[in-house]
Protein backbone atom coordinates (compact mmCIF):
# COMPACT_ATOMS: atom_id res chain seq x y z
CA UNK A 1 0.00 0.00 0.00
CA UNK A 2 1.34 3.41 -0.96
CA UNK A 3 1.71 6.37 1.37
CA UNK A 4 -0.63 9.31 0.94
CA UNK A 5 1.40 12.35 -0.25
CA UNK A 6 0.02 14.48 2.58
CA UNK A 7 1.97 14.81 5.81
CA UNK A 8 2.48 16.79 9.00
CA UNK A 9 5.52 18.53 10.39
CA UNK A 10 5.44 19.06 14.16
CA UNK A 11 8.12 21.28 15.66
CA UNK A 12 8.41 20.31 19.33
CA UNK A 13 9.94 23.05 21.45
CA UNK A 14 10.20 24.45 24.97
CA UNK A 15 9.03 27.84 26.19
CA UNK A 16 12.60 29.15 25.78
CA UNK A 17 12.75 27.80 22.20
CA UNK A 18 14.88 24.71 22.62
CA UNK A 19 13.89 22.48 19.68
CA UNK A 20 13.73 18.69 19.60
CA UNK A 21 15.45 17.11 16.59
CA UNK A 22 15.42 13.45 15.55
CA UNK A 23 18.08 11.71 13.44
CA UNK A 24 16.60 9.56 10.66
CA UNK A 25 17.43 5.85 10.83
CA UNK A 26 17.17 5.48 7.04
CA UNK A 27 19.55 8.38 6.45
CA UNK A 28 22.05 8.94 9.30
CA UNK A 29 23.04 12.58 9.59
CA UNK A 30 19.61 13.82 8.45
CA UNK A 31 18.01 15.64 11.37
CA UNK A 32 14.39 16.70 11.48
CA UNK A 33 11.37 17.49 13.60
CA UNK A 34 8.51 15.02 13.97
CA UNK A 35 7.03 14.22 10.56
CA UNK A 36 4.69 11.67 9.14
CA UNK A 37 2.22 10.85 6.42
CA UNK A 38 -1.49 11.08 6.95
CA UNK A 39 -3.39 7.81 7.19
CA UNK A 40 -6.63 7.46 5.26
CA UNK A 41 -9.50 9.04 7.20
CA UNK A 42 -7.31 11.02 9.61
CA UNK A 43 -7.57 14.76 10.15
CA UNK A 44 -4.30 16.72 10.18
CA UNK A 45 -4.62 17.06 13.96
CA UNK A 46 -5.05 13.29 14.37
CA UNK A 47 -1.99 12.67 12.21
CA UNK A 48 0.06 15.13 14.26
CA UNK A 49 -1.04 13.59 17.57
CA UNK A 50 -0.31 10.04 16.34
CA UNK A 51 3.13 10.95 15.00
CA UNK A 52 4.12 12.76 18.21
CA UNK A 53 3.26 9.69 20.25
CA UNK A 54 4.88 7.21 17.82
CA UNK A 55 8.12 9.13 17.30
CA UNK A 56 8.75 10.56 20.78
CA UNK A 57 6.72 8.62 23.32
CA UNK A 58 5.32 11.94 24.56
CA UNK A 59 1.64 12.18 25.39
CA UNK A 60 0.57 15.07 23.14
CA UNK A 61 -2.49 15.71 25.31
CA UNK A 62 -0.18 16.88 28.12
CA UNK A 63 1.05 19.82 26.02
CA UNK A 64 -0.13 22.63 23.79
CA UNK A 65 -0.50 21.65 20.12
CA UNK A 66 -0.83 24.56 17.72
CA UNK A 67 -2.00 24.25 14.11
CA UNK A 68 -0.17 26.96 12.18
CA UNK A 69 -2.68 26.75 9.32
CA UNK A 70 0.36 26.60 7.03
CA UNK A 71 1.13 24.12 4.30
CA UNK A 72 4.21 23.54 2.20
CA UNK A 73 4.45 21.77 -1.13
CA UNK A 74 7.76 20.11 -1.93
CA UNK A 75 9.26 17.51 -4.17
CA UNK A 76 9.69 14.12 -2.52
CA UNK A 77 13.34 13.04 -2.44
CA UNK A 78 13.92 10.40 -5.13
CA UNK A 79 15.29 7.95 -2.57
CA UNK A 80 11.88 7.91 -0.82
CA UNK A 81 9.52 7.96 -3.81
CA UNK A 82 9.15 4.16 -3.81
CA UNK A 83 6.81 4.63 -0.85
CA UNK A 84 4.29 6.49 -3.03
CA UNK A 85 2.27 5.65 -6.13
CA UNK A 86 4.45 5.70 -9.28
CA UNK A 87 3.15 9.07 -10.55
CA UNK A 88 3.52 10.90 -7.21
CA UNK A 89 6.46 13.33 -7.03
CA UNK A 90 5.27 15.99 -4.55
CA UNK A 91 3.95 16.12 -0.99
CA UNK A 92 1.78 18.63 0.87
CA UNK A 93 2.95 19.16 4.46
CA UNK A 94 0.85 20.76 7.22
CA UNK A 95 2.75 22.54 10.01
CA UNK A 96 2.11 22.27 13.75
CA UNK A 97 4.10 23.00 16.87
CA UNK A 98 3.97 21.42 20.31
CA UNK A 99 5.12 23.51 23.25
CA UNK A 100 6.58 21.82 26.34
CA UNK A 101 7.33 23.64 29.59
CA UNK A 102 10.83 22.12 29.61
CA UNK A 103 13.01 19.61 27.76
CA UNK A 104 11.84 16.03 28.20
CA UNK A 105 13.44 12.65 27.71
CA UNK A 106 12.23 11.10 24.49
CA UNK A 107 11.57 7.48 23.59
CA UNK A 108 12.50 7.28 19.91
CA UNK A 109 11.01 4.80 17.48
CA UNK A 110 14.13 2.73 16.65
CA UNK A 111 12.95 1.81 13.14
CA UNK A 112 12.56 5.52 12.35
CA UNK A 113 15.25 7.32 14.34
CA UNK A 114 18.74 6.76 15.68
CA UNK A 115 18.92 9.50 18.29
CA UNK A 116 17.54 12.83 19.41
CA UNK A 117 18.86 16.12 20.71
CA UNK A 118 17.63 19.47 21.92
CA UNK A 119 19.12 22.61 20.36
CA UNK A 120 18.45 26.35 20.56
CA UNK A 121 16.07 27.28 17.72
CA UNK A 122 18.58 29.01 15.44
CA UNK A 123 21.04 26.11 15.71
CA UNK A 124 18.21 23.64 15.13
CA UNK A 125 17.17 25.49 11.96
CA UNK A 126 20.75 25.21 10.69
CA UNK A 127 20.93 21.47 11.44
CA UNK A 128 17.76 20.17 9.77
CA UNK A 129 18.04 18.90 6.19
CA UNK A 130 14.62 20.10 5.01
CA UNK A 131 14.03 23.70 3.93
CA UNK A 132 10.43 23.56 5.17
CA UNK A 133 11.55 22.30 8.58
CA UNK A 134 14.19 25.06 8.81
CA UNK A 135 11.60 27.68 7.84
CA UNK A 136 9.15 26.45 10.47
CA UNK A 137 11.81 26.55 13.19
CA UNK A 138 12.78 30.09 12.20
CA UNK A 139 9.12 31.12 12.59
CA UNK A 140 8.82 29.68 16.11
CA UNK A 141 9.24 33.01 17.93
CA UNK A 142 6.12 34.44 16.28
CA UNK A 143 4.02 31.34 17.08
CA UNK A 144 5.08 30.45 20.62
CA UNK A 145 2.64 32.77 22.37
CA UNK A 146 -0.42 31.92 20.27
CA UNK A 147 -3.31 30.12 21.87
CA UNK A 148 -3.92 26.49 21.00
CA UNK A 149 -6.33 26.06 18.12
CA UNK A 150 -7.63 22.85 19.64
CA UNK A 151 -9.02 21.68 22.87
CA UNK A 152 -6.82 18.63 23.26
CA UNK A 153 -8.84 15.70 24.41
CA UNK A 154 -8.59 12.16 23.10
CA UNK A 155 -10.57 11.75 19.88
Query: Which of 111, 16, 2 minimizes the C-alpha distance to 54?
Result: 111
pTM: 0.90
Contact 117, 21 (CB under 8 A): yes
Query: Is residue 134 a part of any domain in this protein?
Result: yes
Query: Is residue 16 a part of any domain in this protein?
Result: yes
Query: Is residue 152 a part of any domain in this protein?
Result: no
Nearest-angstrom CA–CA distance, 13 and 22:
13
> Which range of residues forms the domain containing residue 119?
6-143
pLDDT at 146: 64
Query: Is residue 150 a part of any domain in this protein?
Result: no
Query: Is residue 154 a part of any domain in this protein?
Result: no
Looking up residue 20, the CATH number of its domain turns out to be 3.90.79.10
**pLDDT for 63-122, tens place per residue?**
989 999 999 999 998 888 999 999 999 999 999 999 999 999 999 999 999 999 999 999
Query: Is residue 153 a part of any domain in this protein?
Result: no
Amino acid sequence: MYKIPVSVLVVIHTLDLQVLLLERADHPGYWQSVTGSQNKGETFQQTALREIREETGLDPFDHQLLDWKTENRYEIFKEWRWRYAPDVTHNIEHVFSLCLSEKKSITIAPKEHLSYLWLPWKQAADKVFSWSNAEAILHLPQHRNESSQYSLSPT
